[in-house]
Amino acid sequence: MGGTSSKLPKDLLSEYQELTFLTKQEILLAHKIFSELQGGENGPYSSRVSMQKILTLPELKANPFRKRLCHVFSTSDMKDGSLNFEDFLDLLSAFSDTATLEIKSHYAFRIFDFDDDGTLDARDLEKLVNCLTGETDDTRLTAEEMRQLISNILEESDIDKDGTVNLSEFQHVISRSPDFVSSFKIVL
Amino acid sequence: MKRRLKCLKEAQAFVEKFEGALGKGKGRRLYAFKVMMTKKLIKFNRDFENFKTACIPWESRIKEVESHFGSSVASYFIFLRWMYGLNLVLFGFVFGLVVIPEVLMGMPYGSIARKTVPRDEQDSAMDFSVLFEFGGYCKYSIMFYGYYNNQRSIGLLQFRLPLSYLLVGVGIFGYSLMVVIRTMARNANEGGDGAEEGAFTFSWKLFTSWDYLIGNPETADNKFASTTTSFKESIVDEQENLKDENIHLRRFLRVIANILILCCLGGSGYLIYYVVKRSQEFAKKDRNELTWLQKNEVEIVMSLLGLVCPPLFEVISELEEYHPRIALKWQLARIFALFLGNLYTFLFALFDEVNAKLDNEKEIKNETIWALKEYYDNYTLHHNVTENIPPPNISPADVIRGPCWETEVGIEFVKLTVSDIQVTYLTILIGDFLRAVIVRFLNYCWCWDLEAGFPSYGEFDISGNVLGLIFNQGMIWMGAFYAPGLVGINVLRLLSSMYYQCWAVMSCNVPHERVFKASRSNNFYMGLLLLVLFLSLMPVIYSIMTLPPSFDCGPFSGKDQMYDVIMETIEKDLPPFMADIFSYASNPGLIMPAVLLMVLAIYYLNAVSKAYQNSNMDLKRKMQMVEGCVFGCCKSSGSSHSSSRSQATRASARYCPRTSTRSRHGKRKRWTTTTKIVSSKEFLFVLDIKFGTKSNFKGVIYAI
């Protein structure tokens, strides 16, 4: 473990296969990519890769939610978004083809919850819209449009009218969308 | 993950420790054996799944395209790959059950008349121009119907080739039908729980519009821009809907447009008919006198029509001023009608030719009988024997041949397919590659910005390509019975097309301005494929049932009808009671009630499905009411962090007072809107969007 070209031991591989939605090839590919990201750092399996390095992956580079992804899947105590190999596998498993709708919607909710308070309130939604509309000024919505959009969304999704979208409401909305499962996918 | 690993390890240790204890007494060994076999089976299944995913070809290539262009363009390549798989299986059938037996166990080339090039054609049989037209050695090869011998059973294994030929010809359709329907069913299952009338327009757009497979910054920028504009446009479009216009002028213009389009369709049909008729006249003249244009007129005309007419339809549809989504439906329907009309006119013209050949054949048949009679008479005269006259000692190349209409039909289809392939590849080369080269290199010395302005780089035309693929497959299905080699040609074509188009897309195309997701479009294309399958089945079945086979070529020569092979097999090879069963089964008195029963079954299933839909709607409404009530309860009891749906459903089992003030069903006005579509090709990737706003927002006009 942790050598120059560390191989994944077989029992760990089969355990990962049981615990995630990934196939053997996908786990091995993830291991290879993760080892490359680790670079020269030799360490046991729980060694962490910093968020900047994770964000250099081509699949994540163009994603507007990349930082949130790292934060959600990171189990580090320092809350710095660094991922170890098992976190990385968790991420890939949640975004894999065979993951169920419940898993995906659960993680989607946590990704969209920018302030980690367990609900999507107006501030979270605003940040979400800004993520989706890009960085430059001419693609952003004006304040008036934003307000209108957010009130439309809350009206559609907020069942108990408390001004926030909680997990159950979110899952209720998402489960009816035909595109969600196919768009919420990352393949290495 | 750590927690899960710990749990898993504990569970595994527990199971190992106590495993044997479950099976008691005598059955212990058997139980342990069963457990071991189950474990091995699970492991085997998992390995097999891994192996299967590893076997899927071109996965990395498609993934690359997907990350650059989004999942809608990639869906075309996934469709192409699926078609390749289908054609590969069909090729396996045809090759393994028809071609190989004939080659290995049948008579070799040159032994009998039908397998030899006629004496007068032998000089030119190897010329490239003749081979290119699929004449010469090509015509008298395994590629076409005429080569196959009508011997009832051949070789050591007594392989019944004519029967196999007929069954494979029909089996191709059966297998394709099965695969298409199975794929449609699978797609329908994955399509979510049918929330077509989503009240969640904006929410969906917000939460699900980002395609996580996009890995390219340029595409991501496009996606950002399109998301923004889609937010804004859905409101602007809704304003357009409310505009009140001059209805009569619109109707008049639409009628004119439809008349124009009908004229175009009729004109193209007539043109094809005329050209095919002319080609028959050309065929009578000497081949060397014809120019290349005259020889290939039919194929050129058909391909040109396929290229020119769709843009023409688009221009005419500007008159109609339909909503973009409806305009696209019309456009696709018209292109479909164009292709269909062309194909069927071609078939009808071909049919006339076949009938002419059949008449010709009668004459030749009489001639051959007369020649044989003469030979016998001469022989009797010279040798004074009237019985046991040996057959005429003529070399196979000199025998008088019938016109063999099936081979001619096969040749026509093969030529059509080949020219279609050529046109497609040329279009990509010129339309995309050359254009990209010109834009890239002339940009340095041109007055306006070529990349941003007029020609710019092409976008990948998804629906055009998919329609082309579907119609190509239709032609293959039609022609496969008369030209067994056609399926092989198609397999090669799909294989090369995969690499060629992947390369072309990556190097010459830019991502669409509006990057759409391929949501529910897969079943639409499958439905089209199914329709084309039925339409191509009909001519083949008709010709099998009604037209008599040629008397001297093909596996059915000498019979009155092609399906006589089956009758013969039933009589001679199967036990006698089977013949009785078949004769009972084909009795109209039995078939009519069976058809009636099926119609009734369809009606009943339709009624049941409607009832299910209604109850579905009721349940949805009830669920919304209950959830509103539940969340009201949970909120009022202070637990606002309900973490899972199961908790909510458990809560709903408890009695809670109906909080009428929290009911979300105020009066809602629903307008149907669509997002504005840049080009007419993106129809299928636009979600139908309805949104409801409270009535007090009705008057607000969103000024952008």
Considering only CB atoms, A160 lies closest to which of B2, B220, B628, namely: B628
pLDDT at A77: 79
Q: Which chain B residues touch A156 with a CB distance below 8 Å? A: 199-203, 691
Per-residue 3-state assignment (H helix, E strand, C coil) for B489-532: HHHHHHHHHHHHHHHHHHHHEECCCCCCCCCCHHHHHHHHHHHH
**Of residues B197 and B223, more confidently modeled:** B223
DSSP-derived secondary structure for A17-77: HHHSS--HHHHHHHHHHHHHHHTT----TT--B-HHHHTTSHHHHT-TTHHHHHHHH---T
| B690 φ/ψ angles, rounded to the nearest 5 degrees | -120, 140
Contact call for residues A177 and B207 (beta carbons, < 8 A): yes
pLDDT at B611: 94
Q: What is the nearest CA distance from B225 to chain A, expressed in angstroms? A: 6
**Angle B416-B417-B420 from CA coordinates, rounded to 5°:** 85
List alpha helices for B637-701, DSSP H: 645-653
DSSP-based three-state secondary structure for B669: strand
Contacts 24+ apart (CB under 8 A), B125-133: B130/B287, B133/B295, B133/B411, B133/B415
List alpha helices for B107-210, DSSP H: 128-132, 136-139, 161-190, 201-208
Question: Which pair of structure tokens corresponds to residue A96?
Answer: 């894999």
Least confident piece of the model among B288-297, B383-392, B657-666: B657-666
Give me chain A's average pLDDT, please: 80
The share of chain B scoring above pLDDT 90, in percent, equals 12
Per-residue 3-state assignment (H helix, E strand, C coil) for B195-255: CCCCCCHHHHHHHHCCCCCCCCHHHHHHHHHHHHHHHHHHHHHHHHHHCCCCHHHHHHHHH
Q: Hey, what amino acid is at B107?
A: M
pLDDT digits (tens, 9 = 90+) for B217-262: 777 777 777 777 667 666 555 455 556 567 888 888 888 888 988 8
Q: Hey, what amino acid is at B626?
A: V
d(CA B335, CA B352): 26
Strands B509-510 and B458-459: parallel
Q: Which chain B residues touch A139 with a CB distance below 8 Å? A: 224-225, 228
Exposed e or buried b per residue across B237-247, where buried means at least 16 C-beta atoms within 10 angstroms of its C-beta: bbeeeeeeeee
- B597 pLDDT more than 90: yes
d(CA B200, CA B195): 10
Nearest-by-CA chain A residue for B11: A15
Nearest to B515 by CA among B237, B232, B210: B210
Element (H, E) at A129: helix A122-132
d(CA B431, CA B183): 33
Nearest-by-CA chain B residue for A46: B2
Average pLDDT on B597-613 reads 95
- B676 pLDDT more than 60: no
Confidence of residue B663 (pLDDT cuts 50, 70, 90): very low
- For A142, what's the count of Cα atoms within 13 Å in the CB-facing half-sphere? 6
Average pLDDT on B156-164 reads 85
pLDDT at B602: 96
**pTM, to two decimals:** 0.71
**From the CB of residue A15, how many other CB atoms can be counted at a distance below 10 Å?**
16
- B205 pLDDT more than 90: no
Average pLDDT on A82-94 reads 87
Q: What is the interface pTM, i.e. ipTM, of the complex?
A: 0.75
pLDDT digits (tens, 9 = 90+) for A129-171: 888 776 666 667 777 777 777 877 887 778 777 888 888 888 8
- B315 pLDDT more than 90: no
Per-residue 3-state assignment (H helix, E strand, C coil) for B92-115: HHHHHHHHHHHHHHCCCCCCCHHH
DSSP-based three-state secondary structure for A113: coil
Least confident piece of the model among B96-100, B127-131, B179-183, B583-587: B127-131
Considering only CB atoms, A141 lies closest to which of B231, B664, B687, namely: B231
Q: Read off the DSSP letter of residue B430.
A: I
Residue given tokens 């078609």 in the structure block = B83
Q: Which chain A residues touch B198 with a CB distance below 8 Å? A: 176-177
d(CA B229, CA B237): 11
Confidence of residue B23 (pLDDT cuts 50, 70, 90): low
DSSP-based three-state secondary structure for B44: helix
d(CA B87, CA B73): 22
Residue given tokens 């058909």 in the structure block = B302
**From the CB of residue A123, how many other CB atoms can be counted at a distance below 10 Å?**
13
Radius of gyration of chain B (CA): 33
Element (H, E) at B693: strand B689-694
The share of chain B scoring above pLDDT 70, in percent, equals 77
Contact call for residues B58 and B81 (beta carbons, < 8 A): yes
Contact call for residues B665 and A156 (beta carbons, < 8 A): no
From chain A residues 8-37, the ones with a CB under 8 A of any chain B CB are: 15, 17-19, 23-25
DSSP E strands in B601-688: the ranges are 668-673
Q: Read off the DSSP letter of residue B447.
A: S
d(CA B235, CA B247): 23
Q: Which chain A residues touch B232 with a CB distance below 8 Å? A: 141, 145
Is B213 close to A183, i.e. CB distance below 8 A? yes
Contact call for residues B430 and B40 (beta carbons, < 8 A): no
Confidence of residue A24 (pLDDT cuts 50, 70, 90): confident
Least confident piece of the model among B85-94, B544-553, B586-595: B544-553
Is B520 close to A180, i.e. CB distance below 8 A? no
pLDDT at B19: 64
Q: What is the nearest CA distance from A16 to chain B, expressed in angstroms? A: 8
Contacts 24+ apart (CB under 8 A), B27-32: none
Nearest to B683 by CA among B549, B485, B524: B524
Residue given tokens 């008088």 in the structure block = B400
- B628 pLDDT more than 70: no
Nearest-by-CA chain B residue for A90: B1
- B416 pLDDT more than 90: no
pLDDT at B649: 37
Nearest-by-CA chain A residue for B224: A133
Nearest to A153 by CA among A132, A183, A182, A139: A132
pLDDT digits (tens, 9 = 90+) for B256-287: 888 988 898 888 888 888 887 887 787 777 66
Q: Does A117 touch chain B (CB under 8 A)?
A: no
Q: Hey, which residues does B159 pair with through a beta bridge? A: B154
Q: How distant, in Å, are the alpha carbons of A95, B136, B224, B676 from that of A182?
A: 10, 52, 19, 23
CA B188 to chain centre: 17
Q: Read off the DSSP letter of residue B159.
A: B
How many contacts, defined by CB atoms under 8 Å, are there between A and B? 189
Q: Read off the DSSP letter of residue A188.
A: -
pLDDT at B5: 77
Q: At what angle do helices B564-572 and B576-585 cross, to 10 degrees?
A: 140
Average pLDDT on B169-185 reads 92
**From the CB of residue B340, how many other CB atoms can be counted at a distance below 10 Å?**
16
| A173 φ/ψ angles, rounded to the nearest 5 degrees | -70, -45
pLDDT digits (tens, 9 = 90+) for B470-527: 888 999 999 998 999 999 999 999 999 999 999 998 888 887 665 554 445 567 778 8
Nearest to A84 by CA among A73, A95, A93, A94: A73
d(CA A98, CA B547): 52
**Of residues B242 and B338, more confidently modeled:** B338
pLDDT digits (tens, 9 = 90+) for B343-373: 888 888 888 888 888 888 888 888 878 887 8
